[in-house]
């Protein structure tokens, strides 16, 4: 199987893998999917992800493929989708490299262009996932604040509370943020966003940073940028933000709103991975109250 055959017959890839007709090398793929590098007969490689045990949740890989395609249509640096099946996804192989200041500046410009391309509504035209959890992408043309509260904070607050990952203290703090968002307006239309842009979802290659593993949807552009500062922060973050701001200037007070936007992904982490993220949720919720 070479890449031309794979593009023409993507449905055959699982059979070739089952019968070990393709060289498969496991690679790091995150905490949800099993990832591997597939070396084809023509010497090219693709990056493939499968569900580690049993069938993937319905629409899981379809959502990723839809998001990658949507971002790529806007010119974002994302790998090309080669195979999109219910059981797996395969994209072009990007050879990893080292982060540089020049690549960071280019990423800032790339993100500004992506966000400026816009979205028809908050949400998306497909059912979403973020990590292993569902993401309600039902399109909304209302205000960002109530949408963010109802679709991006409340579902993961409930899951986190039900599994005991948050105490009553954190729940009460987040509920106050939800109340503040009921009447919060931002005055910007929806942006086309990656949707899960923590630093681990940047692939630094030769001279460029690629966006991988999206939970793409229409959202507030500040959410993508806020998530870049999580979990140690992206390399050369100040260069990313500086270049971004030159192309698409951020609204006054954006830095004070960073914890508000980070609260979404932090709640996803308590919902999916447990109480080890509790303190981060508390800190973000306390700071977010002052931004509303």
Q: Per-domain residue ranges for the chain?
A: 3-92, 101-289
Biggest alpha carbon–alpha carbon distance for the chain = 58
**In the CATH hierarchy, which fold is given to the domain comprising 3-92?**
Phosphorylase Kinase; domain 1 (3.30.200)
CA separation for the pair 275, 179 (Å, rounded): 24
CATH architecture of 101-289: Alpha-Beta Complex (3.90)
Please compute, for residue 180, the number of CA atoms within 13 A of its CA located in the half-sphere on the CB side: 18
Q: Environment class of residue 264 by beta-carbon count within 10 Å: exposed (0-12), middle (13-18) or buried (19+)?
A: buried
Q: Are 205 and 224 in contact (CB under 8 A)?
A: no
Q: What is the mean pLDDT of the chain?
A: 94
Q: What confidence score (pLDDT) does residue 129 get?
A: 97
Can you tell me the distance from the alpha carbon of 165 to that of 72, in angstroms, rounded to the nearest whole number?
36
Give me 171's structure tokens: 């729940």
166-214 per-position pLDDT tens digit: 999 999 999 999 999 998 877 899 999 999 999 999 999 988 999 999 9
Cα dihedral 254, 151, 269, 160, rounded to 10, equals 130
Query: What is the pTM for the complete model shown?
Result: 0.94
Q: What is the pLDDT of residues 25-53, one digit of tens each?
A: 988 755 688 899 999 989 999 999 998 87
Distance between CA atoms of residues 201 and 103, nearest Å: 15
Q: Enumerate residue ranges in the chain where pLDDT < 70.
A: 29-31
């Amino acid at each position: 199987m070479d890449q031309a055959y794979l593009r023409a017959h993507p449905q055959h890839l699982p059979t070739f893998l089952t019968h070990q007709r393709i060289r498969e090398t496991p690679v790091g793929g995150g905490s949800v999917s099993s990832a591997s590098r597939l070396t084809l007969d023509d010497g090219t490689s693709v990056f493939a992800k499968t569900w580690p045990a049993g069938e993937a949740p319905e629409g899981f890989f379809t959502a990723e493929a839809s998001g990658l395609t949507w971002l790529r249509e806007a010119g974002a640096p994302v790998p090309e989708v080669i195979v999109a099946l219910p059981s797996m996804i395969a994209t072009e192989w990007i050879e990893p490299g080292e982060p540089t200041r020049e690549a960071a500046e280019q990423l800032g410009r790339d993100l500004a262009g992506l966000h400026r391309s816009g979205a028809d509504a908050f949400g998306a035209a497909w059912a979403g996932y973020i990590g292993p959890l569902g993401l309600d992408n039902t399109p909304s043309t209302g205000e960002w604040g109530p949408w963010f509260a109802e679709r991006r904070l409340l579902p993961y607050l409930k899951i986190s509370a039900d599994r005991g990952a948050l105490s009553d203290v954190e729940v009460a703090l987040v509920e106050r943020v939800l109340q503040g968002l009921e009447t919060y307006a931002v005055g910007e239309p929806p942006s086309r966003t990656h949707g899960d842009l923590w630093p681990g979802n940047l692939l630094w290659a030769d001279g460029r940073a690629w966006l991988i593993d999206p939970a793409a949807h229409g959202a507030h552009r500040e959410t993508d940028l806020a998530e870049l500062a999580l979990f140690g922060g992206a390399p050369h973050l100040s260069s990313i933000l500086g270049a971004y701001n030159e192309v698409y200037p951020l609204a006054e007070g954006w830095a004070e709103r960073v914890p508000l936007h980070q609260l979404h992904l932090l709640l996803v982490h308590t919902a999916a991975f447990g109480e080890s993220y509790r303190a981060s949720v508390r800190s973000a919720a306390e700071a977010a109250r002052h931004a509303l």
